[in-house]
């Protein structure tokens, strides 16, 4: 069996837009702020997508879901993750798991952690774990200017 590992990263800034939802891990949070982005700006789903694509040697999220392509404007990032996973399987790889670390003080992730993991795992067809990390006041994330996520994915090929 062959095993490969991929790493993904995404970051989006907060914006004041009462009409735009704040979506993380496929869960919509009550918030007076949202994340700016071409799709729904779900940094967790984006980092997981990037990690899986990288592990399979399929490039990165921008190559598959360009932020200049109008087809992806406002897109559901969990659906994009599911499509990326389909492409990973089509290339002969099977997702083993994905582990994501989210850096933010807002929103509080713990109450939605199980729901996020369930939605992401369903899209991947393998376990996806989500961990929240506080930025401890450091840098732009510590000032509450946005949300960042790092993810690692394992894929296997018999």
Total structural domains in the chain?
A: 1
3-state secondary structure 108-152: CCHHHHHHHHHHHHHHHCCCEEEEEECCCCCHHHHCCCEEEEEEE
Q: Assign 18 a pLDDT band (cuts: 50, 70, 90).
A: confident
Q: What is the pTM of this model?
A: 0.96
CA distances from 96 to 6, 55, 135 (A): 11, 11, 29
Give the tens place of pLDDT for each residue, 42-83: 999 999 999 999 999 999 999 999 999 999 998 999 999 999
Q: Check which CATH number belongs to the domain holding 30 and give it.
A: 3.30.1330.50
Range of the domain at 145: 2-157
The answer to whether the beta carbons of residues 156 and 9 sit under 8 Å apart is no
The answer to whether residue 158 scores a pLDDT higher than 80 is: no
């Amino acid at each position: 069996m062959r095993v490969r590992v991929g790493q993904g990263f995404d970051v989006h800034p907060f914006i004041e837009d009462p009409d735009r939802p704040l979506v993380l891990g496929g869960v919509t949070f009550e918030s007076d702020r949202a994340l700016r982005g071409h799709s729904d700006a779900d940094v967790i789903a984006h980092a997981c997508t990037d990690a899986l694509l990288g592990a399979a040697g399929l490039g990165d999220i921008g190559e598959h879901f360009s932020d200049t392509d109008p087809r992806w404007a406002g897109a559901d990032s969990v659906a994009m993750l599911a499509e990326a996973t389909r492409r990973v399987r089509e290339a002969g790889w099977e997702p083993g798991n994905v582990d994501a670390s989210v850096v933010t003080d807002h929103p509080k992730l713990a109450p939605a952690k199980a729901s996020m993991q369930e939605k992401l795992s369903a899209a991947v067809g393998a376990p996806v774990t989500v961990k929240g990390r506080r930025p401890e006041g450091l840098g732009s994330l510590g000032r509450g200017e946005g949300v960042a996520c790092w993810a690692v994915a394992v894929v296997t090929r018999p």
